[in-house]
Amino acid sequence: MEQSPRLSLSYVQPNQAQKHVTVNETFRRLDALTQMTVRSRMVSVQPVSPNDGDFYILPIATGDAWDLYDVGDLVGFQDGAWMRIIPVEGMRAWVADEDVFVIFDGTAWNALSGGGAESAARFGVNATADLVNRLSVKSDAILFNYDDVTPGSGDCRVNINKDASGDTASLLFQVGASGRAEFGLTSDDDFHVKVSADGSTWDDAMIIDKANANIGLGVAPSTKLHILGEAGTNPADGDIHLEKDGGFALVVLSEYSSASPSGSAFSIQRRARGTRSSPTAVLEDDWLGGFSFRGYADGGFQQRGLISGIVDGTVSGSSVPVALSFHTGVTGLNERMRISSDGGITIGSPTGASKGVGTINAEAVYDDNVLLSCYVFDQVLEGQIDIAKWDAKVPNRMRVAEHDLETELKPAQQVKRQHNPMRKFKARIGGEYDPLTLDGYARHWKEKRHLTAMPDEANFNPEQGLPAGAWVQRLIETAEIHAVLIETLNQKIKALEEASPGRSGIIRPV
């Protein structure tokens, strides 16, 4: 056997002449292999003027000598000539231009570590580290366990330290090397949880203030829990969605205090115009918030109940008049009742609006036709009724705006109305049932079994009835008609007394 099996070191043979040649060749090879250092593993062109002792790990290379060698070979310039060392598995070398150790695995050279035993410039576990990712690990799982050998404290903590407040100390989660989620101290000293759809544009999902532990969802928090919602969102997609399969989903606000009855737990909804940094005053008819009630039907949650706060007039200084509005519906929403800022209550769509503190202005109670029906006397005294005059005395009906939670479906409007009772009265004048003639009035109630101003039995709905205002108007009209007919009888009596002076006492009060 002439050479060693691993490093191919030449043996001195028995009776060999010039033994020093073999020994020196072995020394040169040992000089190269012992604590092996190569200048580079990236040089692909054979150097023109190498220094004696320069070694390289060959990539795909060219040159007079290098053309004869293979990728991965160790080549070195010694005694004016290039020598080749074929690496064997486990061989290690220091690469000077990278400051890393590399190890030959039988096929290729791979980085092992750099520096000394207690410090490595880069380290890869089943992966290649680089100048950005100096520690690189490719593994299905990574375990950090507490120290039970030293022994340690029993704790296990991963410390991520940054230099300054504006820097980042975080954990980043990627898909195909593109970021999708991140949490940590990102660009300031508050704790952020961020997400991204493309790795470029990031949105804060949560921010925890370092100073007071306030939590903000989508916004830097100004209170203990601060949630930023998007304008125009449905509750099903919006800020807080509480859902439970059966039973109740509750938000419980509790306050415990024996110091003062003024303390309590509130759900506060606020509204301003302008921007978050520069808010401006709200305007009349602005919605300030509310409670929406929805039931599932036809593939979605349909809003059919709503309690809301609405700006109820002109905002001036610190004065913000607010009304509470109550909406219900079957296929949509209609305002059924409003408690106005002046203390009045309106129900339905009555004429005018709030009548003031302590009043109820309802479409079927305090309503349109509670008017003096003096048109009866106009007809008697002037011989005609001015229709325009009496139409002008009828207040228009105010239809409030119709809304769902997001949009105004129909704007508020005034509905022009006419004085219909007056028209019905005028239509009978000069006719068969003229209410101002004794015969016409009597003919009407004898044939139709009701007075001209009163509802007839056949057309009266006892379940719905009539608004109190309509009853009052009809009674007033009846009283005025009776006053006119009494005066007609009075004139007839006077005429009879004048025609028969001696019989003036013929008619006596009963």
Classify residue 66 by its DSSP letter.
Answer: G
**pLDDT value, residue 266:** 72
Handedness of CA 386, 389, 395, 397 (dihedral sign): positive
> How far is C-alpha 92 from the chain's CA centre?
60
Distances (CA, A) of 124 to 64, 91, 158, 234: 36, 18, 19, 50
Model confidence pTM above 0.85: no
Tell me the residue length of the chain. 510
Tell whether the torsion through CA atoms of 423, 426, 431 and 437 is positive or negative.
Answer: positive
Backbone angles phi, psi at 235, to 5 degrees: -60, -30
Looking at residue 235, what is its pLDDT?
Answer: 40
| Separation CA 473–CA 383 (nearest Å) | 22
Give which of 366, 328, 362 is closest to 347, Cα–Cα.
362
Tokens representing 256 are 């415990």
Every domain of the chain and the residues it spans: 35-137, 168-230, 370-396+417-510
Alpha-carbon distance of 61 to 480, in angstroms, equals 123
At 33 the pLDDT is 66
Which CA distances in Å does 57 have to 74, 97, 102, 103? Answer: 5, 12, 10, 11
Per-residue pLDDT tens digits of the chain, which is 510 residues long: 575 555 555 666 777 667 656 666 766 666 666 778 899 999 999 999 999 889 999 999 888 899 999 999 999 898 888 988 888 888 889 999 988 888 999 999 987 654 444 567 778 889 888 888 989 999 999 999 999 888 888 999 999 999 999 999 999 999 999 999 999 999 999 999 999 999 999 999 999 999 999 998 888 888 788 877 654 444 434 445 556 566 666 666 676 666 655 556 677 788 889 987 899 999 998 988 889 898 889 888 888 899 999 999 999 999 999 999 999 989 888 888 999 999 989 888 777 778 788 888 777 655 555 566 789 999 999 999 999 998 888 877 777 666 655 566 677 777 788 888 899 999 999 999 999 999 999 999 999 999 999 988 888 877 767 777 788 888 999 999 999 999 999 999 999 988 887 655 544 443
Distance CA 56, CA 84 (A): 10
From residue 389, give the alpha-carbon distance in Å to each of 218, 392, 394, 419, 424. 61, 5, 10, 10, 16
pLDDT of amino acid 238: 43
